[in-house]
Structure 1
């Protein structure tokens, strides 16, 4: 059967080949237009953007515009960037436009390919997000490719950390926005924690093009994005548990390196009980009593921290902080923290300051975030091995784009050694030989620790080299860009420097920046650039003669795709190249997942120390081990998504409700419905239908009416009436509560009252959603135990999550009703007005103030000034922008600059007159853009 498949493929080509071939007619159309667009003046070419937009507005489809739009971008690129798109790049652009993944080899110009689909899809004015793997690449690509887009009349924004919301909003309003997956995801979560539409920074999603799509949608998809807030300090517990765990003997626990899990043995449990009891952290004598649930949780996390997580592999310690190392890229993930007390356990282990644990305020997986985009596409050098997952999770097809020139790289068989010392000795010998003949060497390692060990070996042998641990993105880009120079040796952790091309002989752009950055534009600088180009050309020929870039892998990664990424750095654009991996029995992949019996037999078959072996059995064993890990990691990601899908449905409901509340002119109908439901629930709880009045819980009813509704009514008298029933109670309580609320509202400006209701609704919803997330987190940790009762954990989780969500909505209804029922409002006769410019003076001068009870989950203070004045709410002032939007005090503060419209977004309340003097309210004038 396999033979027939090969014959059929040879005759008809693969399905991928046929698909790529189907796009060739469009390539022909674009090429046919080239002479027409070459003949255009700059002004005529730039005017194409306006023409395309008019055609779109008249109903024409993007697909119809594609040939002309691509031809426009190609010609503009020639004029602005000095680069012409190859035909295969046009194919890649079409694949991206169709919402698919373009797999293109390293050096094939993916960044330039993206300009085609980005420009075409940005013509509609709805925005295109270009997602990169780090901030450096986001800024670099926005700046470099931004020259092309801006020349064609488009706006370009970039999202980087520490930007103010006003700047973020402007960047998202641009036609094309660059940023990282983390920044885009966190902005989405933060937007759905805001209290007014005007404070949100993102627009409705349109199209995302993800660079290095495998890294973002696969590798990073195992960890969800979480916005969290601090909880109670438990430093003493972390330290006590850490001290106990460090005294454990090997027979006290069993660990599974494959699953990265660890459990106590009977001896370990008994030992832990006595030690924790002595430290005063055990309730009773049994570790697994309900009262000790938290202690057991932190004990397990401390076990993992001390006995599973390794310094300089899983994390590093710098400046008194534990910083996570990304297992796929080897980069430091500063600002990221492990959840559920694990980070605190590692901090206790390392003796650094322990930061408090956090509770989840909002979270989303990358899978569910990127599925929010109506159109999603991506590009990478390696995606085919994960094609089933891309389609299963994201409904994305992977299309392999042919290379512009044939690949000349030679991929050698793996060399296998008995132990790591032999392997490293062989690596150093090979590196020394290759460097001596002028062949540049890129050495790929899987951890910082291995990089530093190899560096010591090379230093001892006198081999000059650079070590990249990917600590600084800009520095790493400069080093990697020059890794193709004559005799250069570069050690890189995993895929450090992704997004930076390794060109044989060196990189003109980076050498110019390094050597000529101080020279101004002029003849001297131009002469320097010409010199650098000539030197690089001469050096490139020497490197080609030496065999091109030699990529040396020091061990196999868990995923074949990561190995292919490393290999792909060599042999770009038809260059010669060589790749080879060096392995040993000590490598983590083979030690944990390999077929040890078979490997040991091969190793013991007369292999001398320092001798290498190349054997198809070993290659097969390695591939099998990698497939095992890939399948396991896919299962982890899929399970994470299955559980998050449950929460995602609820998240959509909550976020849609928040948006509806913010957009509504008034929310009195929602508040009234909440009151009616709450009254009905209270009566039904104590006076169930079909139960005789003599059996009603009258005392409970009286308590709830007083504590929940703040009503003083004669319940006992109602019960004695002859015609008493449940409906009568509900009707009377609702009438009295409606009258009470009408009395509170009387005399208060309607616009201020609307704000009161909106803010209470939003704050109550946020509070109980946060509690709901914490409950779901706890449920998620223990639901797998239901499997012991022959129940499917996921189904159990779905059922309980639904019931918990229903309870959450009921709590919100009751809380909003109780909060408004107890709020006290007063209107003083007069209030001194601050000395303000005329256009800022408010009408009336009334004050609205009140304090709400804290036992219901929301505790707020109100302050409002004037009939149309600003309105402040205490708990809403969590950011500078919220403070500016709600606080009159901020409005009158030193940040206000009447002549600076940009400052108004931070300082002017929405309901005051606009500082421009138009006579309109700010929200209907300059505040619209906010």
Structure 2
């Protein structure tokens, strides 16, 4: 019997259906303009951009321009790319413009859809960011779709790693900028570490379209972006602790597989305390204040040994521990676990231990992308995470109909008792498909399992390609040709690959690989031959049933399974998908495996037989929903903690920007001095106490520390009628006079520079310490739950208190430095330099690419030592406008930072031509 909700949906359609229906009049309005626009010349079409901008200046809204702008973009795409937007793509563009997520199946042309909303929202000239999951897609899409924008007179930029600051700033100044989520986030953090407003590269965040929005805003949002610098070496401590872990027995700790966590039992704590004392690593109790750091490292070593497995979570390559991404199975070169965990893994594996890093700046993707005035996204799989998008980002998900109905057949799951039986069944299916010339895409969840499967295929002499962390160099080509007859491709994850699996093969990729270094005539002939082969192969594959997707087990998230499934049945192509499971799979084993296993035994299932039933599918889906809900709760809880830091981060960054932008910060410094005096007086001169009860000795010590003199404050007590308020006024007056005299002594202009430098350096120094303290607080705050206190409320309270203390210390530091600093007027005032980029590291676990986003070579415009590869006749990276050979090319190679500048100025090189 149908429920009331299902009956209503059958009669009226879902809310999604009704929304799609409501878009049809707007689509008709766009289509009605097509004929008129097709009659315009290229120049007349391009002039439409200037016309739209003029109308916006006259008060028109973007919504009022939508139909015309979309029609113009479609016409421009036809002329520049030979592509025409379908009606469903126009609908997707409207959804993006309205600040929602458009869910479109694989192969429906999301890249082209983005041009509609990007063009319309770029018209005000404030900048549009199109966010991609990897650098390859950012470059490809900016060049490919850039033809449409440039045809219409807009500028296009692309942000890639190792881009020099000048080019980076120019790219952000463009009307439409393509960039990865990591580059955008790191540029935001780096901008807020700069010391000059002109050095900042980004503009205010206005509108962003996020491609593969589920990967970026859900998967990657679990870890923050971090910029860090090196700290002291603790290699010996890690090695010493690592040697102790094998001494622990199973009764000493408990492993929670569901939450992937480990904790010591009471017996374990006692045993560990004894081991640490015997090893001389601690004195006294394990949780004494001085032993906190050692206990923390022990916990990380325990995780490294008991939770992390080689070849699954990481591999050892060239003497380094390289993380394997859980989503893609790719090696994440250059990435490191934070908080000492990576060092613990290095100690475990006996490789060189690299020093820890101290966090200098960090932000989560949730809080970075919520900075935008309007946010939109597109993906093939967002519906399962609709609640999260709505709760965290305020984004609604709209499911788009396909241009051509999906012809893929999704078979019921096959469940076997053992993994061996499951893999044998998978190999049989692959062998059968290959004999029939049907291409197969096999999805696995780890390198280990993909290699196990590859070994089985080798034994059966079945030709195949493996796409995982160890063999991803040929990734694009392997993916592009996975639709050829009889092709067998094993892949660890298929999200955000950026290349469609086309039946028969990919023409562009084959031309790139096969047609090289030949004359035009031979090239054209070779291309025609390849086209004919692809058309023939496409028919063969269609007759065989299209691409067959085989899932080797269910992922915790339905979305990842859907991404794999979605690779088949592209644009109405035939296809099929089927998942093979066993009771030994992690999902089945952890969530109700024993019960199902006993049922299968009762049914008398023989070896090699499988259960296939829609009920099984529903049961598995419910298990996945439980895991998804738990993971969402974890992300939501993490965000609540990060929101506390985010409010503080915004306050600090706003203050830095004000200081950087101001010509004169003397008022701010004066306010800081007055607030410091107010706190000083409150602590030593109580408001309702008699003067003889005031702590004048303590006050004198503090004044001496802060200002280098006590101003004769004890004499003021002798004044008749003096009270705390009058005393404070005296002190303010005396310190004002003192600082005015110092300004005259140093020189007013130099004083302004000194104030600005000291203010920025103090803010940065104390903010860095504050971040470290917040990290430590986060690690221990959960223990408050044992005392029946809410850890989040405790964290908010303590973080607020710590922030207040940080601001107080910053004020004191500024006051002290301004009172004591000595400047000799004949010396030129050194410029305040931005942090040296080569000393900093960027880190974030990228859920889709695993590529290293840290600086890893090429030209760094801040460091002339890296300019050796700059062509002699190209513009100098310093921005002077001169040729490199006539500028820094003369002097860079042999000059040290502290050497006299060869230009003859008499200044050190770092304060002259080396200041960039």
TM-score, reference length from structure 1: 0.89
Quote the Cα distance in structure 2 between the aligned partners of 1:674 and 1:905: 43
2:882 to 890, 896, 900: 900
Matched residue SS, 1:872: coil
| Equivalent pair of 1:232/1:356 in contact (CA under 8 Å) | yes
Report what 1:527 is aligned to: 525
Report what 2:870 is aligned to: none
Matched residue SS, 2:3: helix
CA apart distance, 1:151: 2.0
Report what 2:463 is aligned to: 464
2:735 to 728, 734, 737: 737
Report what 2:537 is aligned to: 539
1:762 to 756, 760, 773: 760
Quote the Cα distance in structure 2 between the aligned partners of 1:905 and 1:398: 54
Quote the Cα distance in structure 2 between the aligned partners of 1:438 and 1:706: 87
Quote the Cα distance in structure 1 between the aligned partners of 2:884 and 2:633: 49
2:785 to 763, 773, 787: 787
CA apart distance, 1:724: 3.8
Quote the Cα distance in structure 2 between the aligned partners of 1:412 and 1:519: 47
Matched residue SS, 1:60: coil
* 1:621/1:902 CA distance change after superposition, 3 Å: farther
* 1:593/1:900 CA distance change after superposition, 3 Å: farther
Report what 1:449 is aligned to: 448
Report what 2:867 is aligned to: none
Report what 1:255 is aligned to: 255
Paired residues for 1:702-741 under 5 Å = 702-741=700-739
| Equivalent pair of 1:328/1:494 in contact (CA under 8 Å) | yes
CA apart distance, 1:744: 2.0
Q: Deviations over 1:306-357 (max 9, x none)?
A: 1111222222222222222222222333333222111111111122211212
Quote the Cα distance in structure 1 between the aligned partners of 2:398 and 2:414: 32
Report what 1:860 is aligned to: none
Report what 2:912 is aligned to: none
| Equivalent pair of 1:595/1:621 in contact (CA under 8 Å) | no
CA apart distance, 1:613: 1.7
- Quick check: 313-322 or 406-415, which moved more? 313-322
Paired residues for 1:635-646 under 5 Å = 635-646=633-644
Quote the Cα distance in structure 2 between the aligned partners of 1:607 and 1:681: 78
- Larger RCO of the pair (alpha carbons < 8 Å, separation 6+): 2
Matched residue SS, 1:332: coil
CA apart distance, 1:470: 4.9
Report what 2:605 is aligned to: 607
* 1:712/1:327 CA distance change after superposition, 3 Å: same
Quote the Cα distance in structure 2 between the aligned partners of 1:753 and 1:698: 31
Quote the Cα distance in structure 2 between the aligned partners of 1:221 and 1:512: 38
Quote the Cα distance in structure 2 between the aligned partners of 1:54 and 1:473: 49
Paired residues for 1:576-615 under 5 Å = 576-615=574-613
CA apart distance, 1:905: 13
CA apart distance, 1:411: 0.5
* 1:532/1:770 CA distance change after superposition, 3 Å: same
Quote the Cα distance in structure 1 between the aligned partners of 2:262 and 2:745: 65
CA apart distance, 1:12: 1.5
Matched residue SS, 1:246: helix
* 1:360/1:428 CA distance change after superposition, 3 Å: same
Matched residue SS, 2:635: helix
* 1:121/1:497 CA distance change after superposition, 3 Å: closer
* 1:164/1:172 CA distance change after superposition, 3 Å: same
Matched residue SS, 2:831: strand
Report what 1:117 is aligned to: 117
* 1:304/1:534 CA distance change after superposition, 3 Å: same
CA apart distance, 1:298: 1.1
Quote the Cα distance in structure 2 between the aligned partners of 1:492 and 1:257: 25
Report what 1:11 is aligned to: 11
* 1:822/1:189 CA distance change after superposition, 3 Å: same
Report what 2:172 is aligned to: 172
Quote the Cα distance in structure 2 between the aligned partners of 1:897 and 1:511: 41
Q: Deviations over 1:485-544 (max 9, x none)?
A: 100000000226622111100111111111114346x33322222222221111111100
Report what 1:302 is aligned to: 301
Quote the Cα distance in structure 2 between the aligned partners of 1:497 and 1:363: 25
| Equivalent pair of 2:684/2:699 in contact (CA under 8 Å) | yes
| Equivalent pair of 1:552/1:579 in contact (CA under 8 Å) | yes
Report what 1:872 is aligned to: 831
CA apart distance, 1:221: 1.1
Matched residue SS, 2:52: helix
* 1:293/1:458 CA distance change after superposition, 3 Å: same
Report what 2:909 is aligned to: none
Report what 1:73 is aligned to: 73
| Equivalent pair of 1:136/1:473 in contact (CA under 8 Å) | no
Report what 1:513 is aligned to: 512
Q: Deviations over 1:609-663 (max 9, x none)?
A: 2222214453333222211110110011100111111111111111111111112
Residues 1:312 and 2:302 aligned together: no
| Equivalent pair of 1:136/1:474 in contact (CA under 8 Å) | no
Matched residue SS, 2:485: coil
* 1:679/1:901 CA distance change after superposition, 3 Å: farther
- Quick check: 226-235 or 631-640, which moved more? 226-235
Paired residues for 1:828-847 under 5 Å = 828=826, 847=827
* 1:778/1:667 CA distance change after superposition, 3 Å: same
Report what 1:52 is aligned to: 52
| Equivalent pair of 1:599/1:618 in contact (CA under 8 Å) | no
Residues 1:629 and 2:624 aligned together: no
TM-score, reference length from structure 2: 0.90
- Quick check: 495-504 or 12-21, which moved more? 495-504
CA apart distance, 1:95: 0.5
Report what 2:292 is aligned to: 293
Matched residue SS, 2:210: strand
| Equivalent pair of 2:93/2:113 in contact (CA under 8 Å) | yes
Quote the Cα distance in structure 2 between the aligned partners of 1:904 and 1:6: 76
Report what 2:616 is aligned to: 618
| Equivalent pair of 1:470/1:496 in contact (CA under 8 Å) | no
Matched residue SS, 2:177: strand
| Equivalent pair of 2:251/2:268 in contact (CA under 8 Å) | yes
2:667 to 666, 669, 684: 669
Quote the Cα distance in structure 1 between the aligned partners of 2:502 and 2:676: 69
- Quick check: 241-250 or 765-774, which moved more? 241-250
| Equivalent pair of 2:188/2:202 in contact (CA under 8 Å) | yes
Quote the Cα distance in structure 2 between the aligned partners of 1:641 and 1:518: 54
Paired residues for 1:151-190 under 5 Å = 151-190=151-190
Quote the Cα distance in structure 1 between the aligned partners of 2:58 and 2:532: 51
Paired residues for 1:690-705 under 5 Å = 690-705=688-703
Report what 2:372 is aligned to: 373
CA-based RMSD? 2.3
Matched residue SS, 1:621: helix
| Equivalent pair of 1:470/1:476 in contact (CA under 8 Å) | no
CA apart distance, 1:407: 0.8
| Equivalent pair of 2:119/2:149 in contact (CA under 8 Å) | yes
* 1:709/1:874 CA distance change after superposition, 3 Å: farther
Quote the Cα distance in structure 2 between the aligned partners of 1:717 and 1:392: 62
For structure 2, the 5+ residue unaligned runs are 839-859, 865-875, 892-915
Number of aligned residue pairs: give it.
859
Report what 1:222 is aligned to: 222
Report what 2:90 is aligned to: 90
Quote the Cα distance in structure 1 between the aligned partners of 2:117 and 2:687: 63
CA apart distance, 1:288: 3.0
- Quick check: 378-387 or 252-261, which moved more? 252-261
Residues 1:653 and 2:651 aligned together: yes
Quote the Cα distance in structure 2 between the aligned partners of 1:73 and 1:264: 61
